[in-house]
Amino acid sequence: MSILAVSISHKTTSVDILAKVAMDSSTSTKLAEAMIASEHVDEAVVLSTCNRTEMYASVSRFHGGLDDVTVALAQLSGVGVGELRQLCAVYFDEGAVAHTFAVSSGLDSMVVGENQILGQVKSALTACQAHGTVGTGLNALFQQALRVGKRVHTETEVGSAGRSLVTAAYEVLRNDVGPIGGRRLLVVGAGSMASLAARTAAAAGAQVTCVNRTYDRARRLAEAIGAQARPLAELEAALQQTDLIVTCTGARDVFLDAEHLLGTPVVGVVDLALPADVSEDVTNAGVVLVNLARLVADQPDHASRAEVEAARALVSGEVNDFLGVRRAAQVAPTVVALRSMASEVVSAELARLDGRAPDLTERERQEVHRTVRRVVDKLLHQPTVRVQELSANPESVDYAAALRELFALDPQTIAAVMSPEVMTTK
């Protein structure tokens, strides 16, 4: 099986199109289930954030798998297959591994090195595990991707700087309206992004108020940072007592526009939701708007070239190590099949010997059996160990194919070794 990654991100399309394919957790798992129900996909993980919607799959064929993934996404998003094919970046096998590690490390994010992506990747994996769309292949890939992401965030400057979409948005806002410290700031939403926005603002000295559809969640967040909480029903009243707004909800439609903000003291709005929570016409009310589209266009690159290159070097080394282990594992069934064939040959020859030498004592017979098996095991040991070591080298030949050809190994025997039932019992 091979790994396929299909990505629609801020690098391949506009925020408006990203909004069309953005998915909540429930829709993401529906997409993953639709993918594995198709002909060429055996495992699936769907990752959807404000930066990207990506499908990862273990596939039997590249083109068939790509078609299955694209069709499944088109059916759920309402975006045509032809349009999706023009918007998607496609990564296959080694490229898919490298892309997965780069995404988990924050190197492919709108804000390079941001650390929220690790939690988002883990949540996507956990959700798909719970729905049974993840097997051993993608589980190994994503578990390693999470480890690589943690290494980048703890061992490199690009990952340890505490960058996030929230800090980037606040910086852009500060350039337009001044510092947020001392300002009255209203946070609408209580998810991970809204929570980060509230905590960051409170740490900067803002007077934070939390509003959410579920009041208890807003209250818990407010209590954790020493802020106030209000129910969503009091939003209009809250707007009359705030200078800045940060919104990141799961709403599918705009719920704040210029009419809501006219006559209020609001001077700036940060909208981190996808789809957008805030209409762009709020600028007509004299309000500064910092949304995802503006962040894509204006986000300054704080990470130095040296920082990024150091992080990419770490990721590259991890990719090579992962692929080496994977290549060695792929030759293992052929090695097992070779040893199995040798064992069958030895057993057949010893049976012939037993018929031709009936006068051997039981002790002599057992000694002959042990000697022959030891000879065969010793002859096979070094070559089979070396072939797995050599297979880890990306420049190596296809040793599995060479063994199959040299020893005329039955492909069905190798396939049986690779079957889930056999793998489970070993």
DSSP 300-362: ---S-HHHHHHHHHHHHHHHHHHHHHHHHHHHHHHHHHHHHHHHHHHHHHHHHHHHH-TTS-H
Classify residue 264: in a domain, yes or no.
yes
Residues 95 and 139 in one domain: yes
Residues 41 and 20 in one domain: yes
- Is-contact 178 150, C-beta < 8 A? no
Asked if residue 114 belongs to a known ligand binding site, the reply is yes
Name the nearest CA neighbour of 107 among 267, 275, 308, 321: 308
Q: How many domains does the chain have?
A: 3
Point out the domain boundary residue: 281, 298, 315: 298
Point out the domain boundary residue: 160, 184, 218: 160
Identify the pLDDT of residue 417: 57
pTM: 0.78
Classify residue 52: in a domain, yes or no.
yes
Alpha carbon distance 19, 359 (integer Å): 83
Alpha carbon distance 301, 311 (integer Å): 15
Classify residue 385: in a domain, yes or no.
no
Residues 7 and 149 in one domain: yes
Identify the pLDDT of residue 250: 84
Residues 150 and 252 in one domain: no
Classify residue 314: in a domain, yes or no.
no
Asked if residue 109 belongs to a known ligand binding site, the reply is yes
Identify the pLDDT of residue 118: 93
Residues 150 and 231 in one domain: no
Residues 229 and 213 in one domain: yes
Domain assignment of residue 19, given as a range: 2-160
Q: What are the CA-CA distances from residue 147 to residues 141, 319, 408 (Å)?
A: 10, 12, 40
Asked if residue 226 belongs to a known ligand binding site, the reply is no
Q: Which of 50, 88, 128, 248 is catalytic?
A: 50
Identify the pLDDT of residue 238: 96
Residues 275 and 338 in one domain: no
Alpha carbon distance 373, 348 (integer Å): 12
Beta bridge partners, 21, equal: none
Classify residue 305: in a domain, yes or no.
no
Residues 340 and 289 in one domain: no
Q: What is the dihedral of CA 249, 172, 164, 283, to 10 degrees?
A: 10
Contacts with 92 (C-beta within 8 Å, 6 or more apart), sequence order: 2, 3, 4, 5, 62
Classify residue 55: in a domain, yes or no.
yes
Alpha carbon distance 410, 404 (integer Å): 8
Residues 117 and 266 in one domain: no
Q: What is the domain-level CATH number for residue 133?
A: 3.30.460.30
Point out the domain boundary residue: 160, 185, 205: 160
Beta bridge partners, 374, equal: none
Asked if residue 51 belongs to a known ligand binding site, the reply is yes
For the chain, the residue count is 426
Does the annotation count 50 as an active-site position?
yes
Residues 408 and 290 in one domain: no
Residues 123 and 180 in one domain: no
Name the nearest CA neighbour of 250 among 116, 49, 92, 8: 49
Alpha carbon distance 54, 46 (integer Å): 6
Identify the pLDDT of residue 385: 81
Residues 133 and 249 in one domain: no
In the predicted model, residues of the chain with pLDDT beneath 70 are 160-161, 299-303, 394-395, 412-426
Identify the pLDDT of residue 418: 52
The three-point CA angle 150-317-303 to 5° equals 60
Classify residue 321: in a domain, yes or no.
no
Q: Percent of the chain, pLDDT > 70?
A: 94
Q: What is the dihedral of CA 78, 82, 88, 89, to 10 degrees?
A: 160
Give DSSP secondary structure letters for 110-133: SSTT-SHHHHHHHHHHHHHHHTT-
Classify residue 388: in a domain, yes or no.
no
Q: What is the domain-level CATH number for residue 185?
A: 3.40.50.720
Q: How far apart are the first and last CA of the chain?
A: 20
Asked if residue 120 belongs to a known ligand binding site, the reply is yes
Backbone angles phi, psi at 37, to 5 degrees: -80, -10
Largest CA distance in the chain: 110
Q: What are the CA-CA distances from residue 129 to residues 31, 126, 269, 352 (Å)?
A: 14, 5, 37, 52
**Residue 413's CB: how many other CB atoms inside 10 A?**
17
Identify the pLDDT of residue 344: 86
